[in-house]
Structure 1
Amino acid sequence: MIGMELELAAQAPHEVVFLDGSLTTPLIYFNQALNKSRDTSHLRTTAHFLERTISALEAYLTILASTRSDRCWLAIPKYTTRREIGQEMGWPDMYDDRGLLSFLLEPGEYTSPRSLQQPSEPWHLNLAPLEPATKEAAGRIKEKVISSLNEIQVAYYRPYPWLPALRIEMSRAVAENKQRLAKLLHGVRHQCGAPAVMEPYPLYMADRMVKHLPKAIPTFRQVTSQHIAETYQGNIGEIFLGLHGYRTESGV
């Protein structure tokens, strides 16, 4: 799923493209999926994932490098344990960067970009489950991805009085170019104009759509039950028992 999201973001025609979560999250998920792929090799979804690994990594590299001057990709995680500002300023460990900067930054102010706090161990991506031909190509992309992860820049920006400080993760190519950085900040400000929404509007809409998906499950279950019942040769009651939801569904 996250690979498809990266491919969609890499192909987006917009000047400023928002990603929910951290720029480091996809590598963690890719590594987890590859590690589990050997135990689930019998699943079609596993084969599909392994086939698309190259295209997903290429899209990820496009976003991390951000070499195109007409595109800016940025990630806005809601929560993080990283404390780039706190470590630099010598704040106590229990102080959260975003919480403090929400009160320290005046509306319209932002911190200068600085390097992302790196993990205690080097970034890693296990490519062993891939086929030899695919593994060689993926290995070249992996090295570029890890190199780009080591150059991610972070800034905090508070566009309006009613908003907390937003953590923005971006490519070094964007952070070190004043024109591209200005375009990025303008895009964030433009998408935060509604006081009732406490995050950029594209991320808000994405969250709303995802959180509404569970409401469609009963409808999908009903359609599936009817479709199977048309051709099932046994006791039709077994179909409805097998597809019955065990959780109590809300009547609201």
Structure 2
Amino acid sequence: MDTFADLPDALVRDLLAQAMPVAQRVSSNLDELRSAKEQLCEEARRCGLIRRKADLDVPREPSVVGVDGSYQIHRLTSIDLCAAAAVAVEGTSKEAKRHWPEPYHEMWVDGLPHHIDTVGVLRGMMVSMELNLADNAPHDLVLLDGSFSSLIIYLNQALTKLDDCAANLGNKFRIRWEEGLLPQLKRLLRSDRTVAMPKFTARNELIQDNRLRPPVVVDGKTLATLILCPGEYTAPLPIHTNDEPASMQVDHLPERFCPRPEMEDLLAAIKSLRVIYFRPYGWLPALRVELPAPVSSSNTRLSMALEGIMRQFFSPAVIEPYPLFLADRMVKSLGSGVAVIEQAVAQHIAAESPNVEDTLLYLQNYRTEGGRGGV
């Protein structure tokens, strides 16, 4: 298929004309950053930011599982065909015990009346499934795709919109919440075996308190890729500080679902989170790894986490831990699965309808929306 087949010729010409100016600006930023590498590395070592994985105890091979989720909304004429799912995929291992040889999953699908707030609650359903799989995984190391904060933000949006979505969806999410979703969330935030690995973020804890002063605006992953050698990681740093407290992201979950003492406990757990940047190999950019306090404060647990992550990379073609890569591929395919359900529903309804042509008008798909858990 021609890449530009659906674009006007004039737009294509204007687009291509911008390639060189954009490349020059990006190149200029990278050159300026690279020119400061030696100074930044020296500053990082002087303030104790850079550490070596080799200095930690060598642990046994941990069992590893990756968890990711996604949601889909197919906007039909008369209904929204909605689905949410989460998948847990076990990592590769040579010595570690295999607990889940086959992927585990949770899913929910239904046809709902059109509501403006369906997305927020459906995304909360997806997060509830991710949390349940992560909480029940028996593995030594559980990798979450995305940040801890995004999980809480999505749950907050779902709880806030609960009364404004379709009854079937709202009731289902309310049941999941009442079955212990809040305790699950707090357990993961204080877990000694769960870490969160967002792919992209603008955050940069390395420049807090003027630890490092790069010459250009840069995120933490890019800066860590510059200063870290293979096998190095940064000292655990607070994700939330007095200048940027946890309450800036989640002021308060709705009080009827999360009483104030519970919320204060949740905020305390969020405040205790730490972040490191880890560069396992020279052919990988630095990874952002968010750690609960029991992991960041224990060299044994930290060593187990770094070892588990490092063992899940074996090719430059995959720049995230292998189980997260597989889980991501699987949940991306949810849209294809919902499309099949859409066709099956249309065929079944049309077969029983006295007026097939009129019925199919109510089932026309005019827009598909979707998203994933990872950020």
TM-score w.r.t. length of structure 1: 0.86
List alignment gaps of at least 5 residues for structure 2.
1-125, 369-375
1:21 is displaced (CA, Å) by: 0.7
1:124 is displaced (CA, Å) by: 2.1
1:92 is displaced (CA, Å) by: 5.2
1:51 aligns with 2:175: yes
Match of 1:125 among 236, 252, 258: 252
1:208 is displaced (CA, Å) by: 0.9
In 1, the alpha carbon distance for the partners of 2:293 and 2:245 equals 21
Matched to 1:53, the amino acid is: W
SS in 1 for 2:196: strand
Query: Which structure: greater strand fraction?
Result: 2
Contact 2:295 2:301 in 1 (8 A): yes
For structure 1, which segment, 111-120 or 141-150, has the greater mean C-alpha deviation from structure 2 after superposition?
111-120
Deviation digits for residues 137-192 of structure 1 (CA, Å, limit 9, x no counterpart)? xx544332211000101000000111100000011111111111000000000112
SS in 2 for 1:154: strand
In 2, the alpha carbon distance for the partners of 1:121 and 1:172 equals 15
In 1, the alpha carbon distance for the partners of 2:183 and 2:246 equals 24
Matched to 1:76, the amino acid is: M
SS in 2 for 1:89: coil
Matched to 1:246, the amino acid is: Y
Aligned to 1:89: 212
* Residues paired across the two proteins, number: 236
Match of 2:272 among 141, 151, 171: 151
**What percentage of residue pairs aligned between the two structures are identical?**
38
Higher RCO (CA 8 Å, separation ≥ 6 residues): 2
Matched to 2:295, the amino acid is: V
SS in 1 for 2:267: helix
Deviation digits for residues 42-74 of structure 1 (CA, Å, limit 9, x no counterpart)? 5211122122224221111111011xxxx5100
Contact 1:38 1:129 in 2 (8 A): no
Return closer, same or farther for 1:92/1:30 CA change in 2, 3 Å cut-off: farther
In 2, the alpha carbon distance for the partners of 1:5 and 1:140 equals 25
Aligned to 1:22: 147
SS in 2 for 1:44: helix
List alignment gaps of at least 5 residues for structure 1.
none
Contact 1:102 1:158 in 2 (8 A): yes
TM-score w.r.t. length of structure 2: 0.59
In 2, the alpha carbon distance for the partners of 1:221 and 1:39 equals 25
Return closer, same or farther for 1:217/1:44 CA change in 2, 3 Å cut-off: closer
SS in 1 for 2:277: strand
- Superposed counterparts of 1:235-246, under 5 Å: 235-246=355-366
Aligned to 2:131: 6
Contact 1:152 1:172 in 2 (8 A): yes
Answer with 1 or 2: which has the greater Rg: 2
